[in-house]
Structure 1
Amino acid sequence: MSIYEEELEGREFDWFASDSEGNIALFATAGEGTIPNLVIKNYADHDAVAVQLESPNWGSSEVWSDFAKLGFFVFDWDLHGGPYKRAQNPTSNMNKQLRNTIMALGSIPSLPVKFAEIDEIASGMLGSHK
């Protein structure tokens, strides 16, 4: 286990990925979800963006609606083995500044799927694991 993986082990961590259409999703690990190696190595960058997201319902089941209002597809890890399940579709367009901030991270995996057409994302689709 790498030092990066040790930092993430057992804690909620939100990371970002894009799809084949350029949409951005937020993935919530629930403390055990699979994370691509590219993201693991740059987890502090993803954390820095995630903690700044406006989320008045943090800690409740309504948090996914907060992220959807910001323009994210939201995938949440299904405890005890996954996969990531789509919890929410965007309910508005992502503002350009947020999109640019996320895409500028340089550690955003591009997944060969369309988030709007897929309900689950298994570990194997991410090309690496936690």
Structure 2
Amino acid sequence: MAAIYLLIAFVAGVAELFTGTFYLAAVALAALITLGASAIVPSALLHWVFLLACLFTIPATMVLRHRLARKATGIDDMDLGQTVAVLAGPDAQQRYRVQYRGSEWMAELESGSACPGDRAVIVGKEGNILKLAVSDPPLQEPLCPPH
């Protein structure tokens, strides 16, 4: 009978790796608790132990998941601080075309100006528009005439 709970723990644990939820981890933990209890509890009651363990661990993992999600809201966007290459601009709306992650994006400078070939750093995003700050040195010879 204990082998069934070992199998449940293994299958739920492996499935948890693919889904990324905490719920299957709770089921795996409940199965391990039941496996441990099988040493002292009669096998006829192990199903009840598993049910009680699930009724405790699943809500506990829900609370843990929500607490972790609340703390994670302070994590910054992974694009912030990444370098982009200025391709063209500014246009009539003071926007630039930049190369980032293999595609072209529209961007606005927070301050200053840039020329094609300059390097800039992402400091924010507003929808699909990147907010940039110009950095030095340029990626290649700038195409802007000297001042």
Same fold (TM over 0.5): no
TM-score by length of 2: 0.17
| Structure number with higher strand proportion | 2
| Structure number with higher helix proportion | 2
Between Structure 1 and Structure 2, whose CA radius of gyration is higher? 2
TM-score by length of 1: 0.18
